[in-house]
Structure formats: structure tokens, C-alpha cells
Structure 1
Amino acid sequence: MCGNNMSVPLLDEAVTVSGTEKETAAVIFLHGLGDTGHGWADSMTSIRLPYVKYICPHASHIPVTLNMKMMMPAWFDLMGLNPEATEDESGIKKAAEDIKTIIEHEIKNGIPPHRIILGGFSQGGALSLYTALTCQHQLAGVVALSCWLPLHRSFPEVCLGASTGHKNLPILQCHGEADAMIPLEFGGLTAVKLRHIVNPQMITFKTFPKLPHSSSPEEMAAVKEFIEKYLPRI
């Protein structure tokens, strides 16, 4: 995809949905545990804007503790799915740096950070929140679906080394009310935590009745509205 640019392996493998006209903005969207970028590339195609490039990278296969050390696509290891579970701190930080290399690549190619939205579902949404809040650039926004904030105990201190502009980082957080995998309560706790890090007016927390640990057309319509708002046509 990026020719001989070997410094961004995640980009070489990523599924990219190109714009149908001059690309002036980008959405980087991260899949959940055990998934790939293909399904989310299809979802992005269904809500695409003609001037936006959508990048859906694939996570590497690693052994996941939560699933009896089975090898599967994962951005970092998971020990448990509750707020008190032990976290893979080094894995989360390395994954965030990998995503930041994609952001830097897009910036070098002429798309400024304030024209880049980072998003993801489940583990990918968790990583998108952590990456955006620790990035040296202020991004256009974050789409966090059915997820949580990793290493939540280290915030807001960890933001101090990042852009001071994170106070005004727009965040769209969505969660299914019937999510049995990552219960709505965890999404609510995440929203409360985020309001201590980011200006509360910048956070939108939408819940969807009867929605399990997945997405829906209503949720994708909310995502499209958020993207249109924060990545308007130039």
C-alpha cells in the first residue's frame, strides 16, 4: 500500500478505503480481539465520505492469556475483562507507538493531525483512546465503540507529556446496553474517567438498547455524523 516504506509494517498490510476525490482527511480504525481490518473496512465503506481515506490495520497474532494463551489477532495481551484486571502495560504502550507511526506517516503525506480521527471497536477502541490521549499531536477526534480506557489508573498524569490540547479532544463513545462481553457499566466508568481528562463538553456517550457486543446501523450513523462534524469538507 505504501510501496517500499518498510518503516510502517502495519500500513503495508492494512486495508485502505481510498477517497473518491482528493483526500484531505483520514480515519484510522482498529478492529477488536480475534478480528481483522476487513470487516471494519466494509463498515467504513458504508458511511464513507469522498474526501476521507479510511485505514483499517490488522493486529499481529499473539498468545492471549484470557483465551488460554491461544494465538489470535490482538493489539496487546488481555488478562481479564474487568476494570481491576491486571493489564499488559508494555504491550499497550508498544501498540500505541505502532499506531502513532501510522499517524506520523499520514502527517508526512500531507494530512495534518487535526484532520485525522482515530477509532476502534472493543480492544481496538481501547487502544484508540489510549493512543490519542498520549499522542504528541491533537487529533480531530476519537471514536470509541464498546470499549474501556486501558491503564486508566495512570491518567491524567500520562497526558502531561503529550499535547496540552488533549483537553479539547472530541470523543464519541458508544456502547450496547446488552453487551455481555464488556458490560455497559464499564463504558460508563470509562466516560466518567474521560471527563476528568478531557473537557466534559467534548465527550458524547451514546448507548444503544438491545445492542450486544457488536455494532449496528444506528451506531454507524452516529459515527458518520461525528466524522462529518470533525472532518468537514475543506
Structure 2
Amino acid sequence: MSFTGPSVGSGSRTFRRAFEFGRTHVVRPKGRHQTTIVWLHGLGDNGASWSQLLETLPLPNIKWICPTAPSQPVSLFGGFPSTAWFDISDLSENAQNDIEGLDASAAHVASLLSTEPTDIKLAVGGFSMGAATSLYSATCFALGKYGNGDPYPINLSVAVGLSGWLPCAKDLSSKIEGDNEAARRAASSPVLLCHGRGDDVVPFKFGEKSSQVLSSSGFRDVTFNAYNGLGHYTIPVELDDICSWLTSKLVLEGHS
């Protein structure tokens, strides 16, 4: 599925990047379908690897949708192409945010969720760059719009980010402040962040600070789990914590 990025106007000229998303893998619920979660992989990965892992989780009431990011030039890799939800130059607090790429991926997530039944709770989660995209989607939901101002169409119930960070963190608080609807949505949006203290790819402080920024911006239900010795990967105890949190926040049946 291709998605042309939101237009960025400069006078009468408009620039667009074309985003060609890869294959989507779906894990069907083994029990009564209560929730659909779009789960986003990390930089250079694909939807297949996470779909295989998510299928093993004792969450029979969740349908998982695992898309594959577009292959695009990545500045961090000197312009070499990789599967990436957006472009990234470096992991630092002063790094430029690729709003067009973030918007395109958040819109792809929304599109995947848009055809789900109306009685199903909708959510987003991810790992590393996928976590960043899921947290960006959560802020788009709270603000009611994408970074380019287009309306955000999906009602997200929860968001999960593993080993990731929050894009556009600097101005989030000022955007939500003074917008009563945005503040209300933020306050009622549970977010789970998990991060390893031994992460040598996305430093632990990025996850910790992302949690603090979300909380100070009006997200009142933010859980931050830290794991000693954990690097840039996931472990069974972290997956157990995710299962318990999702079961609690989404009021799921049949967690075994």
C-alpha cells in the first residue's frame, strides 16, 4: 500500500515524498475479538518478525496488525535505504524531526485501524523507531490532528512503546496546554513505556525523559518500566508486564 506524504506548501510549490509501505502481517485473535493493535517494528526490521512473537503471547482477545515500513534513504546510515517509519539523522535531543515521514506512518496506522468493527478498542504499539511512531500517533490522537494540521481520525485506547523515544517532545506541552479537548484526551490515554538500562542503541535516558514529558504534558496515566541489564531487545519478563498492563487497561477476557 502506498501513501503519499502530506503536502508541505512553500508559496505555490508543493513537495511530496511517496511512501510505499511493505507487507502487512496479521495475527488473528484466538478468542473473542476485543481489541486491535497495530504493532510497529524497529529500524531495518519488518512486520513478520514481530507477528511471530506476538502470536505466542497469552492474549487471545487481541488482533495484531504488523505492517512493514517503507524502504527509504536513512540519514543515520549516510543515505542508504532501510525499512524505516521516518528519516532520522541521529539520536539526540536536538535532532530534526521528520514530520512528513512521521505523519505518513501515523496515517498508515490510522488507515489500518479504520476498517475495524466499531465495538473494537483500537491501539498502537511498537519497538524502537516503531515505539517512537506509536508515541507520535498517541500525541496526534490527543491533539486531534497530525503534525501538518490534518485531522486525526482514530480513537486510540492505549499506546505502548518499547526501547523508544517521543518525537517532537519539546513543544508537546505548549500544544496541549490551553486546548481543553486535547488535555481531556491526553488525560484519558494510558501509555506504557518499557526500557532497558543497558540499551546501547536508544539510551535509557531517552525512554525515561519521554515518560516525563508525556506526564508533564497532561498524559496522566503513564507507566514507565525500567529493566536492569536489558539491552536493545525484549525479554520474557517485559512481555509478561505488557500482557498484564494491556489486560488491565483494555479490560480483556481470558488472559492465561
Fold shared by both chains (TM-score > 0.5): yes
CA–CA distance in structure 2, aligned partners of residues 33 and 11 of structure 1: 14
Matched, 1:187 2:207: yes
How many angstroms does 1:163 deviate by?
A: 7.8
State the distance in 1 between where 2:29 and 2:21 align: 17
Q: Which moved more, 1:26-35 or 1:45-54?
A: 45-54
- Equivalent position of 2:148 in the other structure: none
Residue by residue over 1:181-216, the C-alpha shift from the partner in whole angstroms, topping out at 9 and shown as x without a partner, is 11111111111101122344x111111111111111
* Partner of residue 76 from structure 1, selected from 76, 86, 90: 86
Tell me the equivalent position of 1:134: 140
More helix by share: 1
Partner SS for 1:152: coil
Q: What is the one-letter code of the residue matched to 1:153?
A: K
SS at match of 1:69: coil
- Shifted more, 166-175 versus 120-129: the winner is 166-175
Q: What is the CA–CA distance in structure 2 between the aligned matches of 1:10 and 1:101, rounded to whole Å?
A: 14
Structure 2 equivalent of residue 110 of structure 1: 118
Which runs of 5 or more structure 2 residues have no equivalent in the other structure? Answer: 4-18, 145-153
Q: Which residue of 2 aligns with 1:155?
A: 172
The CA RMSD measured in Å over matched residues stands at 2.4
Report the CA distance between 1:92 and its aligned residue: 1.3
Q: Write the distance in 2 (CA, Å) between the matches of 1:42 and 1:101.
A: 22
Distance 2:96 2:65 in 1: 30
Residue 188 of structure 2 is aligned to residue 168 of structure 1: yes
Alpha-carbon distance in 2 for matches of 1:83, 1:111: 39
Answer yes or no: is the 8 Å Cα contact 2:21–2:69 preserved in 1.
no
Among candidates 201, 213, 217, match of residue 197 of structure 1: 217
More displaced 10-residue stretch of structure 1: 14-23 or 117-126 = 14-23
TM-score, structure 1 normalization = 0.87
The 1-side partners of 2:132 and 2:118 are apart by 27
Task: Trace 1:31-46 onto structure 2 (pairs within 5 A).
Answer: 31-46=41-56
Distance 1:6 1:62, change over 3 A: closer
Aligned residue type for 1:25: T
Extract structure 1 runs of 4+ deviating beyond 6 A.
Answer: 9-12
**Partner of 1:182: helix, strand, or coil?**
coil
Q: TM-score, normalised by structure 2?
A: 0.80
Aligned residues: 224
**Partner Cα distance (2:26, 2:173) in 1:** 33
**What amino acid is the match of 2:231?**
P
Give the whole-Å Cα distance in 1 for the aligned partners of 2:75 and 2:165: 18
Identity of matched residues, % = 29
Q: Does 1:67 align with 2:77?
A: yes
What 5-or-longer segments of structure 1 have no aligned partner?
Answer: none
Aligned to 1:51: 61
Which aligned pairs between 1:199-218 and structure 2 lie closer than 5 A?
199-200=219-220, 202-218=221-237
The question of whether the paired residues in 1 share the 8 Å contact of 2:173 and 2:218 is answered with no
In the superposition, relative to structure 1, how do residues 169 and 97 fare at CA in structure 2: closer, same or farther (>3 Å)? same
**Alignment partners' CA distance in 1, 2:50 and 2:208:** 24
- Deviation (angstroms), 1:157: 4.3
Q: Which has the larger radius of gyration?
A: 2
CA–CA separation in structure 1 for the residues paired with 2:31 and 2:201: 39
Q: Distance in 1 between matches of 2:30 and 2:20?
A: 23
- What's the secondary structure of 1:180's corresponding residue? coil
- What's the secondary structure of 1:130's corresponding residue? helix
Offset at 1:25? Answer: 1.2
Is 1:221 aligned to residue 240 of structure 2?
A: yes
Alpha-carbon distance change, 68 to 140 in structure 1, aligned in 2, over 3 angstroms? same
Query: What is the distance in 1 between the residues matched to 2:87 and 2:252?
Result: 38
Q: Is residue 153 of structure 2 the alignment partner of residue 125 of structure 1? A: no
